[in-house]
Amino acid sequence: MKLEFEKSELVKGVSIVQKAVSVRTTMNILECILIDASESSILFTGNDLDLGIQTKVEGVILEKGRVAIDAKLFSEYVKKVPDGKITIETTQDDLCVISCGNNKCEIQGMPADEFSYIPEVEKVNSITLSQFELKELINQTIFSIAMNDATPMMTGELFELKDKVLRVIALDSHRIALRKVTIEDKDEGVYAIIPGKSLKEIAGILSADTEEKVELYFTEKHVLFEFDNTKVVSRLFEGTYFNVNQMFSTDSETRIKVNRVSLIESIERTMIFIKETDKRPVIFDITDTGLKLFVKSTMGRGEENLEIQKEGADLKIGFNPKFLTDALKVISDETVTLSFVNSKSPCFIKDDEDTYLYLILPVNFTED
């Protein structure tokens, strides 16, 4: 095999598929990128058996062939060589000789036949989104997934299409994030729990262009994302997702509207007085005169006062400040609405158009 690339195209291709390469494994082949130039195009593939990514890379095929090459070594080397043309040539024992001007290295490859190809996904059950929409759906929910796999289902997100509305839901034991988008050309038929790890990697590849499209194809075990010259296949979690509908109460005793940026800045200033190891909440004291936020710790006390529009009863309630700012930062509205039932019930952040809803559980606190 002998191939020639512009450095920019090669680096781009490697960075895309490297997201699906295993970093901790006893199987050396899973640490590799497959370079397949056996046909008329050059395809790079990474596959950790849970997530597979394949992309077409612009280049010239001087001699056809295939090889698997260590992703870390390959990536680090091609990023550091000077700009210009890069040639990759393999010997009969899969040794990869990479040349760029006066620079050359040799990386021992592995037989392509040992590489696990990504699963074929039947293109039947599908929906279409703009890359911007999908990227936004992921970024505005992914922070709410659980960080460990003690409850594996919590490390994924539910994609559910019903009555022309696609709902994307993520949760851990303290909060829920829900985003909705209308799908005009499909009524229902999607119920898939996608691992958060896969979604994070996909979001990192997607364009923020509102016109560029991505096709999503669903089967019982996999989801396929196709966009640009790239396809991504992820396994799905098996089973039924948590019933979150019963958690979304429409009742509220207290409701406030507040400037979103001002609220974020006030919370972040109070967070200065909380050590990372300290679980102290930020306290909301809601009255007719406004919203007072305060934190008291061994380091000192922070207090903020904000103007609000208030409906209902006065309320004093505590929250993990990070959980609040995580939700507020992904909302683009200038003003946000927060609803409360009482000091022991969740806070709901919801827009009038019903496109997003964030639920955050309160934290117990003592008056002193």
Q: Are residues 15 and 84 in the same domain?
A: yes
Q: Are residues 144 and 205 in the same domain?
A: yes
Q: To which H or E segment does residue 36 belong?
A: strand 32-37
Q: How confident is the model over 45-62, as pLDDT tens digits?
A: 999 999 999 999 999 999
**Domain stop point among 245, 277, 306:** 245
pLDDT value, residue 368: 57
**Residue 270 sits in which domain range?**
248-360
Q: Are residues 320 and 229 in the same domain?
A: no
pLDDT value, residue 300: 83
* Three-class secondary structure of residue 131 per DSSP: helix
Q: What is the DSSP string of 326-347?
A: HHHHT---SEEEEEES-TTS-E
- Strand-pair category, 230-235 with 347-350: unpaired
Q: Are residues 241 and 282 in the same domain?
A: no
Residue 24, amino acid:
R
Q: pLDDT below 50 — which residues of the chain?
A: none
Q: Are residues 351 and 288 in the same domain?
A: yes
Contact 98, 87 (CB under 8 A): yes
Tokens of 87: 């040639």
Q: Are residues 195 and 259 in the same domain?
A: no
pLDDT value, residue 67: 98
Q: How confident is the model over 93-107, as pLDDT tens digits?
A: 999 999 999 999 999
